[in-house]
Structure 1
Amino acid sequence: MAYRIFLAGAAGAVGQRLIPQLLAAGHQVTGTTRNADKAARLERLGVEPVRVDVFDARALSRAMLGARPDMVIHQLTDLRAGLDPSRMGEAVVRNARVRDEGTRNLVAAAAASGVRRLIAQSIAWAYAPGQQPYTESDPLDADAEGNRGISVRGVISLETTVLNGPFAGVVLRYGQLYGPGTGTEAAGGASPLHVDAAAYAALLALDKGAPGIFNVAEPNEAVSTRKAVEELGWRADFRLPA
């Protein structure tokens, strides 16, 4: 079935790899960006671009009401590829604000628009120390300190807001991304994930899987991805054609 999709963060790494999958499946896509050049690029890809800042709640609500989406996909982040490590601290704070305030604004706009389902990007390395592999029911590291604490609390806010919304909320806990647009072509981290496969999980979640949380990563010892494989039919080896 074809849907009207509101893709928040359409010009990001996952968003750009998700767009061709959504269009190939017959969906109509409205995509957000703050940048005029990126808006033009989205239009060339076949997306209806909307220039809006997720922190401008009124403008975001107007944009979503105008798009009349059936589903919302939240791929917003504020961690740029190739970021100078010396500036990571301030980037973590910005990204946590997107997950907290930005998600609250997005959920409010989705609720006002009567959206049926909202799919949101989260991370798979926020679990509290414990026995591995972690499953979706294991607690997150809410007591973490420093930059990790800021990041994890942003994640907790995002997930709580999405899962408590007046729609079917789905959270995809992505592993460490690599591939086009991510700043690295090599798999790395405890739970690596190719950006194409990350986008594929969001596509599948439009129609499959009960509301809730899914770990999404390549086979690894840190987190279990059985739920995504069994309930979404997800494949870690999915890649877009060259």
Structure 2
Amino acid sequence: MSRIFLAGGTGIIGQSLVPLLRGAGHFVVGTTRSGEGKAKLEAMGIDAVIINVFDAEALRAAVTAAAPDVLIHQLTDLAAGIDPAAPEEAIRRNAHLRREGTANVVAAARTAGVKRMIAQSIAWAYAPKPLPFIESDPLDVNATGSRAISILDGIVPLENAVLDQNDFEGFVLRYGQLYGPGTWSAEPDGSAPVHVEAAAYAAFLAVDHGRPGAYNIADPGGAVAIDRAVRELGWRRDYRRHDQA
């Protein structure tokens, strides 16, 4: 069993992930930005701390106090959705969290002596090429417009911070477009959709399985190949929590 610090415990994936971690007997500390979120996490049976990821000192203290073996980074800034009237504002906010917030999370993980870090990325950041995309394909560093904001200002620095270091085992899970309870779509949508509970299951598996690096997490037959996740993590795209009840 591991001690786990879950950054983003009240997020869409975090809420599906907590029961999996608890069910496996892990000790979990989850983060939230509000008292309401803290109460929700505690009701789910885990410890909780109210943290602003941009407060690097407070974050470092919280992670150090939790003394985790594994840190899972599921933070985003998309809870309010993307306003069609000003879409770039939300995209910039989320990229800022992925860039600056992730840097703070990585620094805290390093200080606390974390052995493994698992971070959320996206599966639609690859440079154009014949499909399917595999994890070794380059990201779209020549993107323009809002796509450049998301990839160059957010995803590239996030993945570099997690993968390009030697202090802990770094994993990035490149999730496809989420669907299912609590997401923006009830049914599969996009070039590489993935059910939210299957996405959470990938993070759960990465606690104890796989080699460091990037993993595509999406339904089969779409824009990305998922062979590595199936082979190394033992991931199942059809996983649903009710199947385990």
Matched pairs, number: 241
2:76 counterpart residue number: 77
1:156 counterpart residue number: 156
Q: Does 1:201 align with 2:208?
A: no
- Displacement of 1:86: 2.1
TM-score by length of 1: 0.97
* Percent identity of paired positions between Structure 1 and Structure 2: 56
Equivalent AA in structure 2 for residue 135 of structure 1? I
List per-residue Cα deviations over 1:198-230 (Å, max 9, x = no partner).
000001111111000000000123110001001
For the Cα contact (< 8 Å) 2:127–2:140, is it kept in 1?
yes
Measured in 1, the distance between the counterparts of 2:82 and 2:181 equals 15
List per-residue Cα deviations over 1:148-205 (Å, max 9, x = no partner).
0010111010000001231000010000001112132111001000000000000111
Could you say what secondary structure the match of 1:219 adopts?
A: coil
Measured in 2, the distance between the counterparts of 1:147 and 1:5 equals 34
List per-residue Cα deviations over 1:34-90 (Å, max 9, x = no partner).
111111111100111100111000000000011111100000001126543223211
Equivalent AA in structure 2 for residue 101 of structure 1? E
Measured in 2, the distance between the counterparts of 1:207 and 1:181 equals 27
Measured in 2, the distance between the counterparts of 1:91 and 1:52 equals 20
Equivalent AA in structure 2 for residue 212 of structure 1? G
2:50 counterpart residue number: 51
Equivalent AA in structure 2 for residue 188 of structure 1? D
Measured in 2, the distance between the counterparts of 1:82 and 1:109 equals 28
2:121 counterpart residue number: 122
Equivalent AA in structure 2 for residue 20 of structure 1? P
Equivalent AA in structure 1 for residue 226 of structure 2? T
Q: Does 1:100 align with 2:99?
A: yes
Measured in 2, the distance between the counterparts of 1:12 and 1:36 equals 14
Measured in 1, the distance between the counterparts of 2:181 and 2:86 equals 22
For the Cα contact (< 8 Å) 1:31–1:42, is it kept in 2?
yes
Could you say what secondary structure the match of 1:86 adopts?
A: coil
2:23 counterpart residue number: 24
Measured in 1, the distance between the counterparts of 2:84 and 2:66 equals 38
Q: Which runs of 5+ in 2 are unaligned?
A: none
